[in-house]
Structure 1
Amino acid sequence: MTPDQSLTTRRPTYSAPVVSGAGAAIGVLGGMIGLGGAEFRLPLLIGLFGFAALSAVILNKAMSLVVVLVALPARLAAVRAAEVAARWPVAVNLLAGSLLGAWAGASWAVRMRSATLYKVLAVLMVLMAAALVVTHTTTLDTLALPLWAQVPCGVAAGFGIGVVAAIMGVAGGELLIPTIVLLFGEDIKTAGSLSLLVSLPTMLVAFARYSRDGSFAVLGANLRFTLVMATGSIAGSVLGGLLLGVFPDLVLIPLLAVILLVSAVKLGRHD
């Protein structure tokens, strides 16, 4: 932990309806495109609620974990468990890299100076915007790699995704889903379920690493805030899921990408 990251446990003075409403708004945005919305929640935690970068990442990770735990049973109910279980080699392949990546990413995040972490988060926001546009506006075709190339590519991709997910405090579905489709040829629906199975242990590893740092105290100091926003996010995700397809992707995706890019610019200028 660096000195400028130690005083990060400020308790927001916002009322529960404001916090819950903000979480719900993020949930709706994510739900409309089939994601949890954590990439949109992170700049909100920093810009609106005033948390320092590392504190925001830790709180975002805690909320993402809650959202995934709630979403997993519902997702497995939508896709037959046996169908997902039959794809266990895909999950294992990605986990071989993502678990290491999550530990490494969290370790790097707690050692970075705040100014550096803000800039890293800004770059990752741009990456998320690009992934969002590519995933939702292009047809993803399987790369059809031979097994000897597919396995190491899966490990490498998992490692990179684990690093990004840990540093941003997100589940990583926006990167996992296209990776599963491209590398392993799964359909989007199955890829979404597999991504949750990979995300959960990956987030737990990052969470365990963050818990060893003094900045983790921000979670205890803002536990009520975290639970209220997570509850709002879950409710918003459900509503967003009901609105799935109501707004055309040609309008929604560019709008969400712009939100991420504007957030990236603001984070990049943050001191």
Structure 2
Amino acid sequence: MVAVGSGLMGAASQGSVRSVAGVPTGVGSSVPVVFAAGAGIGVLGGLIGLGGAEFRLPLLIGVFGFVALQAVVLNKAMSLVVVATALPARLVALPYGDVAAHWSVAVNLLAGSLVGAWVGAGWATRMRSRTLYRVLAGLLVLIAIALAASHIGPLGSLSLPPVARVVAAVVAGVGIGVVAALMGVAGGELLIPTIVLLFAVDIKIAGSLSLVVSLPTMLVAFARYSRDQSFQVVRDNPRFLLVMAAGSVVGTVIGGLLLGVVPSVALIPVLVLLLVVSAVKVWRHR
């Protein structure tokens, strides 16, 4: 956790990444440090029931020295690993039938999120680096607001006619797909409150449905990124990717086990502050 906190708020290493044996040189390049950073991010995410990719992104930029698009692509690859691991575990913990009963919710959101993911990834590959840094900074603030709003109190639901609800879900899905692709995240921070607000689904079931929507959405964005030269960062840093992803999975499990031990009323303001500080650092990054 110390490594993560200092990474998110500490001084950034600049420029693109040179790799040695699959791990970038420079700040925190050893395998134990990479694993510990991933685990710390996973714990943060697990404590609030998310994967933690929103905290991993500024770490990849500020500490490990990846440039914006490289960081997004790597973050997406690690998010895929974490979600692919979390989904089966979540379906075991929560009866499959309870989730399957709401299949139409996932379909409505996917109708928009798959399109949004492809479009968002395309935008990211065409943006100037400076522009992408600023977009990422703005999105980190958006995630901070969504995180705070979803934990202030119980989420209500909107009373909408069926057709309007479907249209709203598709439109929301497009927006969430774009944000998830641009940041390389699963999008659970936005998906869960959207599912609760539009479909009045229990928040635990909403968490599982968000994973069902996230996995194909991320695969579409990942497929789009694979067509761009920036995808080379995955091929150049396989060990870094696997070590940090493994740490993230372990940390997510630990964070999930600690869920309820650390009160949200104390944790959420700290995490929101971390995201805002990270946004400032990313905005100023050169």
Query: Which TM bucket (shorter chain)?
Result: over 0.9
- CA deviation string 1:195-228 (max 9, x = no partner): 0000000000000000000010000000110000
What pairs up with 1:101-250 in 2 under 5 angstroms? 101-250=116-265
What pairs up with 1:2-17 in 2 under 5 angstroms? 10-11=18-19, 12-13=24-25, 14-17=29-32
| Identity, % of aligned positions | 70
Q: Once the 2 structures are TM-superposed, how far is the Cα of residue 74 of structure 1 from its aligned partner?
A: 0.4
Amino acid at match of 2:18: R
Amino acid at match of 1:250: V
CA separation in 1, counterparts of 2:63 and 2:16? 15
Amino acid at match of 1:159: V
Amino acid at match of 2:189: E
Determine if the alignment matches structure 1 residue 81 to structure 2 residue 89: no
Q: Once the 2 structures are TM-superposed, how far is the Cα of residue 84 of structure 1 from its aligned partner?
A: 1.1
CA separation in 1, counterparts of 2:79 and 2:212? 14
Q: Once the 2 structures are TM-superposed, how far is the Cα of residue 10 of structure 1 from its aligned partner?
A: 3.0
CA separation in 1, counterparts of 2:98 and 2:202? 12
CA separation in 1, counterparts of 2:255 and 2:163? 40
Amino acid at match of 1:174: E
CA separation in 1, counterparts of 2:281 and 2:235? 27
Amino acid at match of 1:60: N
Amino acid at match of 1:155: V
CA separation in 1, counterparts of 2:98 and 2:250? 28
- CA deviation string 1:117-136 (max 9, x = no partner): 00000000000000000011
| 2:272 alignment partner, one of 223, 247, 257 | 257
> 2:43 is matched with which residue?
28
Determine if the alignment matches structure 1 residue 54 to structure 2 residue 62: no
CA separation in 1, counterparts of 2:153 and 2:176? 21
8 Å contact from structure 1 (residues 161, 176) kept in 2: yes
CA separation in 1, counterparts of 2:220 and 2:250? 26
Q: Once the 2 structures are TM-superposed, how far is the Cα of residue 170 of structure 1 from its aligned partner?
A: 0.2
> 1:3 is matched with which residue?
none
CA separation in 2, counterparts of 1:10 and 1:46? 14
- CA deviation string 1:85-138 (max 9, x = no partner): 111110000000000000000000000000000000000000000000001112
Structure 2 unaligned regions, length at least 5: 1-14
SS in 1 for 2:18: coil
Aligned length: 265
C-alpha RMSD of matched pairs (Å):
0.9
Q: Once the 2 structures are TM-superposed, how far is the Cα of residue 8 of structure 1 from its aligned partner?
A: 5.0
Could you say if the C-alpha distance between residues 8 and 50 of structure 1 is closer, same or farther in structure 2, counting changes exceeding 3 Å? Answer: closer
Structure 1 unaligned regions, length at least 5: 1-6
8 Å contact from structure 2 (residues 45, 51) kept in 1: yes
Amino acid at match of 2:128: R
8 Å contact from structure 1 (residues 8, 218) kept in 2: no
